[in-house]
């Protein structure tokens, strides 16, 4: 369960997006309860004159906040990392809203900033103890649900935290909210696993890293969103849309020396029917990363209309389309699979209010 707690406590299902109406929140946790922290930042400077590109009348009001605004801060007993960001021109698509690729980049960036802020970011995507043993973090699963994409120049706040997930996994959650209104924009959850960068095989969660992370792990953490539905098998014979000949470039590799997960999302969306891309926008995506991809790979992106899509013909789901996806090497092995849900770009107000309620009525 996801809970907003200010002067009173409101509970809502994890499958719904919540809206924050108060700037101050609190954090706690049981296995199925997560309370999020947030504080609206104060104005940090007053600028009245610029001469030759130099601020001549710059007065910091809260010097300790300047670093926080630029690099984020730890809040609520250092369990949650919080950062304010602005949507830049190179983050947006043709509709002047943040693209899914930019969103995924912000998820990765704030997670790494979190690790850096607690002093545990070592060589590449790893902690100090992991680095000693040639271990790195890799994404295994990713779930994202979008209520509204922020627009160009919008300022949004990200709250993210980590928690143990199963015997060998580390979960990470994010909440993106509009800094001005407090409304929740995006929820995301991921599962990270350890991989040995020499053998390229997954590793157990070593006890040294577990102990290293213990002070910063959310007790009894639980994903803000998750999907228990199994992915359907999509192959070249059953696909409704296919994109062949996809290949990575040097800029698609990350410090783990394989194709970054953000590129996987790009490729999966490349396989979606163009008619959907024109009339709909991505509302949610569930991904499972199954195999590494390297520079010499050639891939195909396969998409198929979900067999249960007909269930969404009611008024409550008017305009929703579900797709199943498979990203495969041309030689056959599957590197990722996923499911996406798309909603009309310009739905009527009735459908919009039924799909994604922003306010909770008590």
Element (H, E) at 337: strand 334-344
Q: Strands 2-5, 33-35: parallel, antiparallel or unpaired by DSSP?
A: parallel
* Residue 315 burial by Cβ neighbours in a 10 Å radius (0-12, 13-18, 19+): exposed
| Longest CA pairwise span in the chain (Å) | 67
Active-site amino acid positions: 256, 258, 293
In angstroms, the Cα distances linking 99 to 103, 213, 217 are 6, 32, 30
Cα separation, 348 vs 182, whole angstroms? 24
Structure tokens that stand for 265 in this block: 């999302």
For residue 231, give the DSSP letter: P
Enumerate residues 6+ apart whose C-beta is below 8 A from 225: 14, 15, 143, 144, 145, 187, 188, 189
What is the edge-to-edge ordering of all strands in the sheet holding 29-30? 9-12, 2-5, 33-35, 29-30
* Residue 4 burial by Cβ neighbours in a 10 Å radius (0-12, 13-18, 19+): buried
Cα separation, 172 vs 164, whole angstroms? 9
Phi, psi angle pair for 314, to nearest 5°: -75, 170
Enumerate residues 6+ apart whose C-beta is below 8 A from 27: 34, 35, 36, 37, 75, 76, 77, 79, 80
């Amino acid at each position: 369960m996801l809970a907003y707690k200010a002067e009173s406590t409101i509970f809502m299902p994890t499958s719904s997006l919540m809206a924050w109406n108060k700037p101050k929140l609190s954090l706690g946790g049981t296995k199925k309860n997560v309370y999020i922290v947030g504080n609206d930042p104060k104005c940090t400077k007053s600028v009245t004159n610029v001469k030759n590109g130099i601020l001549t009348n710059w007065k910091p009001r809260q010097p300790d906040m300047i670093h926080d605004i630029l690099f984020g801060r730890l809040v609520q007993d250092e369990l949650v990392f919080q950062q304010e960001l602005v949507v830049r021109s190179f983050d947006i698509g043709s509709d002047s809203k943040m693209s899914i690729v930019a969103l995924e980049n912000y998820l990765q960036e704030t997670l790494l900033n979190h690790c850096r802020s607690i002093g545990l970011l070592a060589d590449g995507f790893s902690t100090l103890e992991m680095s000693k043993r040639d271990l790195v973090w890799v994404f295994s699963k990713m779930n994202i649900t979008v209520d509204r994409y922020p627009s160009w120049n919008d300022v949004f706040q990200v709250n993210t935290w980590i928690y143990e997930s199963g015997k060998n996994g580390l979960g990470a959650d994010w909440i993106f909210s509009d800094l001005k209104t407090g409304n929740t924009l995006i929820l995301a959850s991921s599962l990270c696993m350890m991989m040995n960068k020499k053998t390229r095989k997954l590793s157990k969660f070593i006890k040294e890293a577990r102990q290293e992370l213990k002070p910063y792990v959310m007790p009894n953490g639980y994903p803000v969103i998750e999907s228990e539905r199994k992915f359907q098998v999509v192959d070249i014979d059953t696909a409704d849309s296919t994109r062949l000949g996809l290949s990575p470039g040097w800029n698609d590799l990350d410090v783990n020396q394989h194709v970054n997960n953000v590129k996987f999302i790009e490729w999966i969306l490349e396989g979606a029917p163009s008619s959907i891309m024109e009339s709909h926008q991505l509302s949610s995506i569930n991904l499972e990363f199954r195999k590494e991809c390297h520079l010499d790979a050639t891939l195909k992106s396969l998409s198929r209309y979900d067999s249960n899509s007909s269930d969404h013909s009611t008024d409550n789901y008017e305009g929703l389309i579900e797709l199943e996806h498979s990203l495969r090497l041309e030689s056959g092995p599957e590197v990722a699979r996923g499911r996406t849900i798309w909603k009309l770009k310009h739905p009527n107000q009735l459908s919009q209010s039924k799909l994604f309620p922003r306010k909770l009525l008590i």
